[in-house]
Amino acid sequence: MYAQILQATTNVLTFNVLAYITLGLFIGYIVGVLPGLSRATAIALLIPITYKLPPLAGISFLIGVSKGGNTGSALTAILINVPGEPQSVVTALDGYPLTLQGKAQKALKLALIASVLGDFIATLVLVALAQPLAVLAVGMGPVELTAVLIFAITFIAAVSGHSFYKGLIAGFLGLLLAAPRLDMETGQPRLTFGFADLSDGVPLLAVAIGTLALSEMLVQIDKGWRGSYLHKGAQLKAGTPENSRLSREEFLTCLPTILRSTFVGIGIGSIPGMGASLSSFLAYAWTKRRDKDPESFGKGRLEGVAAAESADNASVPAGLIPMFAIGLPSSASAALLMGAFMLNGLTPGPFLFRDDAVLVYSIFAGMILASGIMLIMGMVGQNLFARLISVSEVILVPIIIFLCVIGAYLEGSGMFSVYLMLVFAFLGYFMKKYDFSFITFLIGFILGPIAELSLRQAMIITDGKISSLTNHPIAILFLVLAALSIWSFASMRTLQERTGAAPEEP
Amino acid sequence: MKTLFTTAIAATLLSAAFAGAAGAEDFPTKPITIVIGFGAGGGTDAVVRAVAEPVSKSLGQPILVINKPGAGGGVAAMDVKRANPDGYTLYAGGSLTFAFEPLVLKTQYKWDDFEHVAMISLFQDGLFTHPSRPYKNMRDIINAAKAEKRSIKYASQYQLDRLIFAYVAKQEGVEIIPVPTQGGNGTVTATLANQVDFGFSGGTYGPHVESGALRMVGSMMAERMERFPDVMSMHDNGWMIGSGNYLIVSTTKGTPKAVIDKLGAALQAGMKTDTVQAVVKSRYMKDVFIGPDKANEVVKSELDKYAKLIAATKDAK
């Protein structure tokens, strides 16, 4: 064992491997920063390059892309309110207000530290506990998944914005949008209006880019048009030294949040089929609800940025837990990585540890090292990209719109996705104008198909009888938690209404 | 602007015409695109991406592989149907896209809207259960359900397996309820969680069976599986049906025969390389090659087989 680990460390500490890890992180970082281009697309495009590389270099390279992408996406979310990846939408919630307050540098620093810590801890957990955690994750069948999802949905109120009801409306709109596809039981098209392109559902990236990135461009154009536009470069300069520095105290206040959110990211990330966007949303919602002053979230709380970023980044290594341990990918990018393993003649799963133990430990060592490299790269990158907001919108907006179009096109469905994205850009624009939460909208859209599938599976498996739940103790646990969550939320609201502090209904 | 647009179109048409005029013997003179009808990371994707490498080398042109999942490969198939008949746009995916989907979905294509270049491997459709359950074969599951007077639930992947088990249910007089899941990973996940009697997939089960996390109980094909020769097939159980899903490469109808033959030969040689063989093996697929001379025929006969199966289950109801 020790000999293997020693061997692994020597394998990783070669110029070649280090160079590929760094290159992977760099490409991932850039892809993450650029709105529109998605991490999964980048990995799919880069897999052929790894054919010619030795397995360790090739796989470390791809994992680097995956890690780098998650870290980079926070940058544009914080600086210009354009999330580079759908998961970072939660980061923008508090990150962008911080930028408007002249605290962009501070938010970026915190985001980077939270990212790297989340990633690092989750990687350690992957190395130490992959096997037992995977066994736990595999025990989560459709019935348990349904219970977890019901629990998650009770948190939706925490991100519903100023009006709970508007948040709810947006959430249901998202659910409705998730409905067109082939029905999972009959296999027949449902609400597709004859478009074969919709048979796998409305493409996620088109919706995400449209409502998140392109709609923000419309808002900016609109502001410039009306002359109410304020050059953000000026705000950046207005940032005083203490606004730019992340003090020790601030970091220590955020540390519990980071640890808690990392835990959420590991939990959600390691369950097959849950999707990474859920982890940052849940971590944020949990942090907000625990806080003494939940109303200050969304107006520039450091904890909000810390929660979203650490959970998001923790879910990347966590997503690899079931893949390494039992050969079951838990997300699209994990599935791609698994494909890359197999092209290199390696079958992820229990035999990987037996047959190629040195390689596995080498990959692990590479991942830990990647966290460190990411920290340095992030620090340099921030200083460079922070100038982004001093770039004139006349230049910035067209570039971002161009990237959005390319990104939607690249996702695979061709021009169909591009047209859809344009439609959703306008939808997102009006949602922003009329203060409908597009986060609840996205959560509804992303969770819709997962929830529908597991709910329908669970109904068949339990014969629709509540009594069958006795065979599923984990499901009962989460259902009880869901009930408690609703109860605590309801009592909080009643209290607010009684004291007249209810923030909604303008 | 308008003139620019017109010029662009003219240029495209011109180059297309030129490519056509260049003739089949020069093929290929520009990059080839392979549209995979299924998502990245699956068995289809792995084999196609692996074979694209040697094929590209032998044809001397780069190959762009893209994934366009949707409608059981139908979205990708439509792209290829609409492409120029010059062999530069290829479909890769399951043969069920042509031999089965048009029977159950209102597809905008038929099996003969394409030139089927080659079948390059065969999915080994297998049935598996959780090892904590006592079943050794499908017969055990049916007997257990009958004895306990309950229905059988299984993790299903698509219409074809539902059809097959509707037929089996009718034959055996038991209720078999499909639990819909997504893809091979979905059925494996549900079975690993031990919430169904059995599951079906086309190869994803492989490593899990080997590690002992799952146990094979049957082949869903008419014949037994190559890697699990002791496991009973559908015919062994007395059910005269069976699935068959080939990994197929097809192109647009009207593509010159010389181009198709050239592609077929390159694919055949590519499949023989060590890397590709290793991928086929790791995905638990069977190394089969059916060239351009036979491919169309096989698609047609598979289609007829499934049409009969649909008729048989309809009568049963």
Dump pLDDT digits (tens) for A262-297.
999 998 888 876 766 788 888 998 898 888 888 888
- pLDDT band, residue A489 (cuts 50/70/90): confident
- pLDDT band, residue A140 (cuts 50/70/90): confident
Burial (CB < 10 A; 0-12, 13-18, 19+), residue B251, is buried
Chain A contact set for B182 (CB, 8 A): 184, 453
Among candidates A48, A187, A197 on the partner chain, residue whose Cβ is nearest the Cβ of B158? A187
Chain B contact set for A44 (CB, 8 A): 40, 67
pLDDT score, position A375: 93
CB A154 within 8 A of CB A146: no
CB contact under 8 A, A182 and B71: yes
pLDDT score, position B1: 44
Q: Is A402 in CB contact (< 8 Å) with chain B? A: no
CB contact under 8 A, B40 and A44: yes
Q: Which of A147-151, A255-259, B115-119, B243-247 has the lowest mean pLDDT?
A: A147-151
Distance, in angstroms, between A139 CA and closest chain B CA? 5
Closest to A377 (Cα-Cα) out of A16, A45, A67, A46:
A67
pLDDT score, position B17: 47
Tell me the C-alpha distance between B86 and B16, whole Å: 9
- The CA–CA distances, whole Å, from B240 to B121, B167, B185, B305 equal 23, 10, 28, 11
- pLDDT band, residue A506 (cuts 50/70/90): very low
pLDDT score, position A438: 79
Among candidates B70, B188, B283 on the partner chain, residue whose Cβ is nearest the Cβ of A342? B283
Out of A158-172, A183-197, B289-303, give the one with best mean pLDDT.
B289-303
Mean of pLDDT values over A215-243: 69
Tell me the C-alpha distance between B196 and B150, whole Å: 13
Mean of pLDDT values over A11-33: 90
Residue A188: count other Cβ atoms within 10 Å of its Cβ: 13
CB contact under 8 A, A185 and B180: yes
For residue A229, what are the β-bridge partners?
none
CB contact under 8 A, A51 and B53: yes
- The CA–CA distances, whole Å, from B265 to A23, B46, B128, B255 equal 37, 20, 36, 16
Determine which of B32, B51, B195, B274 to mutate to test the interface with A (most A C-beta atoms within 10 Å).
B195
Tell me the C-alpha distance between A232 and A251, whole Å: 26
Q: Is the interface score ipTM higher than 0.90? A: no
Tell me the C-alpha distance between A252 and A371, whole Å: 20
CB contact under 8 A, A339 and B208: no
Determine which of A342, A455, A468 to mutate to test the interface with B (most B C-beta atoms within 10 Å).
A342
Mean of pLDDT values over A465-487: 89
CB B296 within 8 A of CB B303: no
pLDDT score, position A129: 85
Q: Which of A39-43, A252-256, A345-349, B228-232 has the lowest mean pLDDT?
A: A345-349
Chain A contact set for B40 (CB, 8 A): 40, 44, 332, 335-336, 339
In the predicted structure, residue A504 carries a pLDDT above the cut 70: no
3-state SS class at A235: helix
Mean of pLDDT values over A305-323: 90
Q: What is the pLDDT of residues A44-67, one digit of tens each?
A: 778 777 777 888 898 899 999 988
Mean of pLDDT values over A88-102: 88
Distance of CA B81 to the CA centre of its chain: 18
Tell me the C-alpha distance between A295 and A288, whole Å: 8
Closest Cα in chain B to A417: B68
CB contact under 8 A, B69 and A412: yes
Chain B contact set for A457 (CB, 8 A): 179-181, 190
A positions 454-473 inside 8 Å of B (CB): 456-457, 460-461
CB B174 within 8 A of CB B152: yes
Q: Write out the two tokens for B85.
A: 């008949």
Q: Is A328 in CB contact (< 8 Å) with chain B? A: yes
CB contact under 8 A, A339 and B41: yes
A positions 134-173 inside 8 Å of B (CB): 138-144
Q: Write out the two tokens for A171.
A: 């959430």
Q: Write out the two tokens for B84.
A: 């120029």
Q: Is A339 in CB contact (< 8 Å) with chain B? A: yes
pLDDT score, position A495: 67
Axis-axis angle for helices B43-59, B257-271 (nearest 10): 110
CB contact under 8 A, B177 and A460: yes
Tell me the C-alpha distance between A351 and A480, whole Å: 38
CB contact under 8 A, A40 and B40: yes
Distance, in angstroms, between B298 CA and closest chain A CA? 25
Chain B contact set for A328 (CB, 8 A): 185, 188-189, 192
CB contact under 8 A, A326 and B211: yes
Chain A contact set for B74 (CB, 8 A): 196, 199
Q: Write out the two tokens for A4.
A: 């293997």
- The CA–CA distances, whole Å, from A500 to A147, A273, A353, A496 equal 34, 42, 60, 6
* Residue ranges for chain B with pLDDT beneath 70: 1-24, 41, 315-317
A positions 178-217 inside 8 Å of B (CB): 182, 184-185, 187-189, 196-197, 199-200
Tell me the C-alpha distance between A396 and A388, whole Å: 8
pLDDT score, position B105: 84
Among candidates B68, B158, B193 on the partner chain, residue whose Cβ is nearest the Cβ of A413? B68
Tell me the C-alpha distance between A359 and A353, whole Å: 8
Cis peptide before A329 (omega within 30 of 0): no
pLDDT score, position B6: 52
CB A313 within 8 A of CB A122: yes
Mean of pLDDT values over A227-235: 55
A positions 265-304 inside 8 Å of B (CB): 272-273
pLDDT score, position B228: 93
pLDDT score, position B297: 92
Backbone angles phi, psi at B69, to 5 degrees: -70, 160
Mean of pLDDT values over A339-359: 77
Mean of pLDDT values over A180-199: 83
A positions 405-424 inside 8 Å of B (CB): 412-414
pLDDT score, position B120: 93
Residues A177, A178, A182, A188: what is their CA dihedral angle, to the nearest 10 degrees?
-60
* Predicted TM-score of the model (pTM): 0.82
Q: What is the pLDDT of residues A360-410, one digit of tens each?
A: 889 999 999 999 999 999 998 888 887 777 777 788 889 889 988 988 887
CB contact under 8 A, A335 and B185: yes
Tell me the C-alpha distance between B244 and B125, whole Å: 8
CB contact under 8 A, B74 and A196: yes
pLDDT score, position A272: 75
Closest Cα in chain B to A416: B75
CB B185 within 8 A of CB B168: no
- Lookup result for tokens 């982890």: A279
Chain B contact set for A188 (CB, 8 A): 105
Cβ-Cβ contacts under 8 Å for B206 (sequence gap 6 or more)? B227, B282, B283, B284
Out of A229-243, A437-451, B107-121, give the one with best mean pLDDT.
B107-121
